[in-house]
Structure 1
Amino acid sequence: MELPIDYMTLRVIWWGLIGVLLVGFAIMDGYALGTLASLPFIAKTDEERRAVINTVSATWEGNQVWLILGGGAIFAAWPFVYAVSFSGFYLAMFLVLSALILRPVGFKYRSKRPGKAWRRNWDWALFVGGFVPALVFGVAVGNVLQGAPFSLDSDLRITYHDLFLGGLLGLFSPFTVLCGLTSVAMLLVQGLTWVSLKIEKGEVRDRAIRWATFAGIGVIVLYALGGLFLAFGDLGYKVLDAVAVDGPSNPTRGEVVREAGAWLVNYGKYPWMMAAPVLGFAGTALTLVALRFKADPWAFIAASLAVFGIIGSVGLSMFPIILPSSIDAHSSLLVWNASSSHSTLFTMLLVTVVFLPIVLLYTAWVYKVLFGRIEIKQLKTNPDLY
């Protein structure tokens, strides 16, 4: 049966949808990671720390849906990408999941005992639960841009090469650490603008605005340094030969070569793509302006737009490459050679058209119901607060 949408178009649609899901996770759960990563710096007393925790405690669990959706969509739409990335980055993902587990445990157990040492230790656990995922996610993006040391044989079996200590420490290089720090700064801005929006006016809000300003300046500097790395370093890959965009998926079909500066070529071929990095810089700059005037809603919206632009610039720079191999040109994964079948992508699209709006509507309703600032006095009267 001939499907109403051709294979090439479906591949591009799902490449875009995966990007939307990843950006959705970065925005919706990123502010929670950023908030917890800022906990030791913006909250001085036990009551202040409780208030900051309660700005995210009511919504963080629902926001995990975006992580699950993203992982599930990659598994179904891009099975080769899922297999290669989850195999090579296994220990890094285990580290992220271990840190994320600290978050619900910290929420539940922190206030079970009144001891200062007990609560202080859980506060640091919550900090780890926010900082480590933010750092490792950025490092992972850096490794994708840098290329992963994997190869595929004729039976499509994956082999990773030169993995130091199981591949964990091998993920860290000057460029990937820069990407990790950019991610931390970006999500700190997201989290701190959320705190300024959700907490009562006072010292904690003022500290959040002050730290968000520093983090915002850091985002601009680090993001610009990342661009200089791509422009003048030895990073970059390009597709060497013509690949049938509507042919059957076979990751060994197509050759990718390393070429310095190649990640910036798309911006010359498709000038509209410049909107993404411009949005990354402009969104952060608008955040700083909104923070200066204490326009909390606008600061959070601008920070979210910056996240969209920064993450979007990575995907647009790499298109049509998804995950390049740094050691085997024929093993690199492309939009055109690593997707599921035509019928699978079409069926998934139908399901997405039905259920993604439901998720968005439910999320909007939850935030409408929970709208309002957290007040310190509520910690003593509201039994639903941690």
Structure 2
Amino acid sequence: MAPPIDYETLRVIWWALMGVLLIGFALTDGFDLGVASLLPFVAKTDEERRMVINSVGATWEGNQVWFILGGGAIFAAWPFVYAVSFSGFYLAMFLVLAALILRPVGFKYRSKKPDPAWRSRWDWALFVGGFVPALVFGVAVGNVLAGVPFRLDGDLRSFYEGTLLGLFHHFSLLAGLLSVAMLVLHGSAWLAIKIERGAVHDRAKSFGQIAAVLAILLFAAGGVMVATMNMGFRTEGAVDPMGPSNPHLSTLVAARGAWLANYGAHPWMLLAPVLGFLGPVMALIGIRSKREVLAFGGSSFAAIGIISTVGLSMFPFILPSSIDPGSSLTVWNASSSHLTLFIMLLVTLVFLPIVLLYTAWVYKVLFGRVTTQDVRTNPDYY
């Protein structure tokens, strides 16, 4: 029996779910990365650094669920995308994973010895574990927008013709810096909510204001570059959204400025870039007016708007090829089978609400600010 939802609709649903998972990762583990990136700068003494670490110490591990879900969903729903991206970006992925490994090690080993030098080294390890993934994730998105140097042969075998250093070009670096600014803003807004008012709280807010301004400027600069540079891809001829997953059955070409075409065809999509600009402005107002909840809401809206802008601009493309546009992967030519997507959707409808409810319950239980008294009197704190 055929699934009750048609193939085209399932493909769009899974494209949207991928966006939800990426946004979920940015909203939860994103402030962990931002806090780690701020650690050496907002906290000067060991006591202050313990406060900063413990603001995320109870939740960072659970927040990584979204990262795992995202990787698993790409593998199951978009096998072509998984194969090409994880093989082509292998060294970049290894760099991210090596940095992420420093996080659990840093959390577990930092307080094993009272030696200041020992703790300082692990604090910098935590910084690397936050800053490097934030940068590389943005660089990866910048490369996807510009096009990735891969091609598919007649047997659909992928060949990646780029290098690790080649990933770090001017546009991808701008995207990487935007990612860092976005997550540092999110991390500073989290610290403003989670840390007792005092020196650390004030330093976090100062860095948050800088990050908010940089996020606005970098997002605007990225938009100008997308509009004016030789960047963008489009489909030619008829497209069969119900057709088999075979990139060779599509006619895909590079087209300057094509990433802006969706906004003309569907004006409602402009909500995404508007939110990408409005979020940092809200966060800036919240920080300056001492309304921490508004600041955190603004940083969350910034992440939602910026990530949604990328996805909506590229639709239906997921992974375009810069050297062979005909090999580009789209929502229509790179998905799993009709039945696979339907079964996965049923599983998601059962388990995703459980993840959301459990996450909400955890944050409710752990609600409250970390104080100096907490780290002084509680030996179980990091």
| Fold similarity call, TM over 0.5 | yes
Letter in 2 for 1:340: S
Match of 2:247 among 248, 251, 267: 251
Alignment match, 2:96: 96
Secondary structure of residue in 2 paired with 1:322: strand
Match for residue 60 of structure 1?
60
1:353 matched residue in structure 2: 349
- The SS at the match of 2:247 is coil
Q: Report what 1:126 is aligned to.
A: 126
Which of 261, 280, 286 is matched with 1:265 structurally? 261
* Contact persistence 1:134–1:180 (CA under 8 A): yes
| 2:2–2:339 CA contact under 8 A, matched in 1 | no
**Alignment partner, residue 115 of structure 1:** 115
Question: Does residue 147 of structure 1 match 2:147?
Answer: yes
Q: Which amino acid aligns with 1:63?
A: N
Give SS of 2:64's match: helix
Distance of 2:300 and 2:370 partners within structure 1: 21
Partner of 1:177: 173
Letter of the 2:198 partner, please give it: G
- Partners of 1:351 and 1:107 lie apart in 2 by 33
Determine if contact 1:246/1:336 at 8 Å carries over to the other structure: yes
Q: Work out which of the residue numbers 309, 315, 320 in structure 1 matches 2:316.
A: 320
Q: Secondary structure at the match of 1:357?
A: helix
Number of paired residues?
382
Q: Is the 8 A contact 2:35 2:130 kept in 1?
A: yes
Separation in structure 1 between the aligned mates of residue 255 and residue 160 of structure 2, nearest angstrom = 22
Q: Deviations over 1:289-345 (max 9, x none)?
A: 111111112211111011000000000000001111111122100100000000000
After TM superposition, give the deviation of residue 213 of structure 1 in Å.
0.3
Amino acid at match of 1:81: V
Runs of 4+ with deviation above 3 angstroms: none
1:244-296 Cα offsets, whole Å, 9 max, x none, are 11011112221221111111111111000000000010011011111111111
Q: What is residue 232 of structure 1 aligned with on the other side?
A: 228
Q: Is residue 2:10 matched to residue 1:10?
A: yes
Structure 2 stretches lacking a partner, 5+ long: none
Rounded to whole Å, the distance in 2 between the matches of 1:247 and 1:343 is 14
1:279 aligns with 2:275: yes
Secondary structure in 1 matching 2:151: strand
CA distance in 2 between counterparts of 1:33 and 1:233 reads 31
CA contact (8 A) 1:252 1:332 kept: no
| 1:83 maps onto 2:80 in alignment | no
Segments of structure 1 that go 5 or more residues without pairing to the other structure are: none
1:94 corresponds to which letter in structure 2?
A: F
Q: Quick check: 1:277–1:313 contact (8 Å CA) kept in 2?
A: yes
What's the counterpart of residue 196 of structure 2?
A: 200
Measure, in 2, the Cα distance between the counterparts of 1:2 and 1:42.
57
* 3-state secondary structure, aligned to 2:159: strand
Does structure 2 conserve the Cα–Cα contact (< 8 Å) formed by 1:253 and 1:330?
no
Aligned position for 1:300: 296
User: Does structure 1 residue 38 correspond to structure 2 residue 38?
Assistant: yes
Question: Partners of 1:251 and 1:20 in 2: how far apart?
Answer: 25
8 Å CA contact 1:255, 1:332 repeated in 2: no
Shift of 1:241: 2.6
* Letter in structure 2 aligned against 1:335: V
- After TM superposition, give the deviation of residue 111 of structure 1 in Å: 1.2
> 1:378 aligns to what?
374
Write the distance in 1 (CA, Å) between the matches of 2:37 and 2:221.
Answer: 23
**Contact 1:38 1:188 survives alignment (8 Å):** yes
Shift of 1:2: 2.4
Give the CA deviation at 1:362: 0.2
2:186 to 187, 190, 201: 190
Question: Could you tell me how far apart the structure 2 residues matched to 1:139 and 1:287 are?
Answer: 24
Does the 8 Å contact 1:33/1:131 carry over to 2?
yes
Q: Could you give the per-residue CA deviations for residues 100-155 of structure 1, whole angstroms, max 9, x where no partner exists?
A: 01001001111111112111111111100000000000000000001011111111
- Secondary structure of the corresponding residue to residue 252 of structure 1: helix
Deviation readout 1:172-192 (Å, 9 max, x if unpaired): 100000000000000000000
Q: 1:52: Cα distance to partner?
A: 0.3
What CA distance in whole angstroms lies between the structure 2 residues aligned with 1:383 and 1:248? 59
SS state of the match for residue 38, structure 1? helix
Distance 1:211 1:157 in 2: 46
Q: Distance in 1 between matches of 2:158 and 2:227?
A: 31
Equivalent runs, 1:19-34 vs 2, <5 Å: 19-34=19-34
Secondary structure (helix, strand or coil) at the match of 1:183 reads helix
Q: Distance in 2 between matches of 1:248 and 1:65?
A: 31
